[in-house]
A and B are shown apart, each in its own frame.
Chain A
């Protein structure tokens, strides 16, 4: 069970999150920053419900509390080149 991958982008397992919580007596936000769960390429759009639930179970914090697990999911990741005006025709 602990080998189950919660966040695929950063390859964070349930065990990683549990270990971090135990080792650092961390808040939900701190666990997220230490493990990078939900902070990968996809912006947490895939794993966020799972990350929220796992962190809530482990720390007892409700997601969206006073110090929220800040989420800024992009519509899609874009490159600096795209922002700079390059057209992407692939």
Chain B
């Protein structure tokens, strides 16, 4: 697996990369391998994965942006915990990483005012309808 990865294995300043423990993790259900010392983002990048999530409303792709933990553009869900920055989180063996997906926007101002939910029950109903694929609800 490692021979397919894009990595600098002999850096002109930092020298050659030593043998490192291989760690296995999943991203959106697919299994990948990274090295000990990788962040989630670097391991995925080495495997050719650049898109870590989509914008919750627009669905446009997002990936590493600042890569120093500042911008939260690379946030993923790790072992069920959302909002985890892939660029700062060290990879661990067996991690289950999932990308961010689009969210329903029932309160979007582009909706007709009369169609906005007026109660929490209505909100939940609209959300369920959205999840069922009825984007007009």
Contact = CB atoms under 8 A, between A and B. Distances in A.
Chain A interface mostly helix, strand, loop or mixed? loop
B60 A45 contact: no
Interface residues of B, number: 21
Given A11-B57, A11-B58, A11-B60, A42 B81 contact: no
Contacts, number: 35
B66 A46 contact: yes
For the residues of B in contact with A, the DSSP-based class is loop
Contact count band on A: 10 to 19
Contacts of B58: 11
Interface string A74-88: 001101000000001
A9 B78 contact: no
B73 to A, nearest CB: 6
Interface of B: 55, 57-58, 60, 62, 65-66, 69-73, 75, 78-79, 81-84, 89, 95
Interface of A: 8-9, 11, 41-42, 45-46, 76-77, 79, 88, 90
